[in-house]
Amino acid sequence: MQELKSIKGTHDILNSGIAKWQKVEKVLQKVFASFCYQEIRTPVFENTALFARGVGEFSDIVSKEMYTFSDKGGESLTLRPELTASVARAYIQHHFWQDAPVHKLWYLGALFRQERPQAGRQRQFHQYGVEVIGSALPEADAEVIALACSIYRELGLRNYVLHINSIGSTDTRKRYTEILKKTLEPHKNSLCETCNTRFEGNILRLFDCKNPGCAEILKNYAPSILDHLSSEDAEHFTRVRELLDVMAIPYEVNPALVRGLDYYTRTTFEIKGTALGAQDALCGGGRYDKLLMELGGPETPAVGFAAGMERLILAMEAEGLFTEEEAGMDLYLAPMDSHALNTAMPIAQTLRDAGISVYVDLLGRSLKAMLREANRKKAKHTAVIGDDEIKNRRLQLKSMFNNTVSELPFEDLADALKHKK
RNA sequence: GUGGAUGUAGCUCAGUUGGCAGAGCGCUUGGUUGUGGCCCAAGUGGUCGUGGGUUCAAGUCCCAUCAUUCACCCCA
């Protein structure tokens, strides 16, 4: 028989991994709630057309990384490679705008891209993110950025940098692209092969090239998009920066920050982890004022970001933020034999109803084995149930941390444990 | 898709010029009857990634293949 194993680029999360995820998820929920954002959950697969139109047919994500398949009815479906398009689709489908002029949404979910895995990059990975749909104001941009930073601050992460830029509205970008082409035309031959293909397709992506020769040419000759913003674009960007300053959020303006998804307009930003490997983008986002309209909805301005869970956890591990030990169950109940379980199990039920976590041994093991396990599982208390306890309806509650024992009737157990929590 | 590295026990890894498959950790049980941790002892656990080849003999040498991983690319 063929060995069954998880497929390339996917991972089980178990044991200590679960604790890390839960710790992060708890903080996420807390921060989202404090900003009054509402959770949204969308299906993991959608019509292929949604991503082709939303993300951009010629983007790498759509053109070579999607898990696309036909269902039995011949429909082309795709496992979502990102979440903004899905959220936008839901917004349009359910006519959110009739319910309120602005919606502040957050999500956390699994995404799928068929890339070669490496550190911080998997084929199934998870992103959390937010979308503010309905506000064109720079204040929305600033709030979204502030939210992204609050999460890291709340988690205690220190080694990261916020980069921001404005790529202008569609018209601005069209004009700037022409200028860029004209300026770089004489140096075209010195650029690398990929840059030359991008030259015609999406010339802005030249800024992403890591080839030192290309970077040098860009640095020396390429005009900054910030010098070519329309006055409205420039005003918008200035206001975003003003608000970040007022909130004391440190940032770097990076005119080379373009981003690969087609739908961005005006503000773009990225948070880079400084303790990560090659895949160092912790969070990326920006404004996308045309996406909703392109997907068939009303023209609705929006801004949001997406951030990688796995990368965040890697960054937190690198900073040693998962050190504290998890305490175990409130009580480990050790029945001496199967007869004692008749008493132990109802006691456990009563305690659980009272909100106390109780572990009952189900293997019929020796007392020594049970206590060894209780110790290993970091139980706060243990209690043995055997013939004497059953006869007297009393037991000895032992604190595993300070080694004290108190004798109690069964019915006082819940109060005693609650008191010690 | 391209390039490099690595595959031996549940985990981390030794394994010499080819010569009986190893250690530590973990797990199980015990160390005088019903009380954990420390210590001691015994036990459990591997088709040496897979398939070929060379050889009296292959974890070790050769070929292929698969997987994992890092980097390019791209992105969170």
Give the gyration radius of chain A's Cα atoms.
Answer: 28
The pLDDT assigned to A64 comes to 84
Taking C1' of B28 and every protein CA, the nearest residue is: A369
> What pLDDT, on a 0 to 100 scale, did the predictor assign at position A194?
74
Which nt sits closest to A282, CA to C1'?
B76
A270, closest nucleotide (Cα–C1'): B76
Instruction: Determine the Cα–Cα distance for residues A209 and A187; give it in Å rounded to an integer.
Output: 15
Distance, CA of A69 to CA of A395 (rounded, Å): 61
Q: Considering the entire predicted model, what is its pTM?
A: 0.90
What single-letter amino acid sits at A139?
E
Q: Among 3.30.530.20, 3.10.20.590, 3.40.50.800, 3.40.50.300, name the CATH number for the domain at A328-420.
A: 3.40.50.800
The whole-number pLDDT of residue A260 equals 62
Å between A318 CA and B20 C1'?
45
- What single letter denotes the amino acid at residue A200? E
Residue extents of the structural domains in chain A = 15-169+230-318, 328-420
Q: Which secondary structure element, helix H or strand E, spans residue A176, and what is its range?
A: helix A170-184
Tokens of A41: 């959950």
- CB within 8 Å of A163: residues ≥ 6 apart: A251, A252, A253, A254, A257, A269, A270, A271, A272
The CA-CA-CA angle for residues A159, A160, A161, to 5°, reads 140
Q: What is the pLDDT of residue A326?
A: 75
Q: In chain A, which residues have pLDDT < 70? A: 1-3, 201, 259-261
Q: Å between A65 CA and B65 C1'?
A: 26
In this complex, the nucleotide whose C1' atom is nearest to the CA atom of residue A398 is: B35
CA-to-C1' span, A277 to B76 (A): 13
CA A106 to C1' B75, in angstroms, rounded, equals: 20
CA(A374)–C1'(B22) in Å? 32
Instruction: Write the pLDDT tens digit of every residue in A178-205.
Output: 888 888 888 877 777 777 777 776 778 7
The predicted pLDDT at position A1 comes to: 45
Chain B positions with any atom < 7 A from a protein CB: 1-3, 27-31, 34-37, 67-76
Domain A15-169+230-318 adopts which CATH fold? BirA Bifunctional Protein; domain 2 (3.30.930)
DSSP assignments along A77-127, one per residue: EEE-S-SHHHHHHHHHHTTGGGT-S-EEEEEEEEEE-----BTTB-SEEEE
Contact by Cβ (8 Å): A83, A127? yes
What nucleotide is nearest A396 when CA is compared to C1'? B35
- Spatial separation of the C-alpha atoms in residues A410 and A421, rounded to whole Å: 18
* Residue A144: C-alpha distances to residues A54, A149, A280, A285 (Å): 21, 9, 20, 9
Q: CA-to-CA distance for A258 and A287, rounded, in angstroms? A: 12
pLDDT tens track for A62-73: 878 999 999 999
Nucleotide nearest to A388 (CA to C1'): B34
The interface predicted TM-score (ipTM) is: 0.85
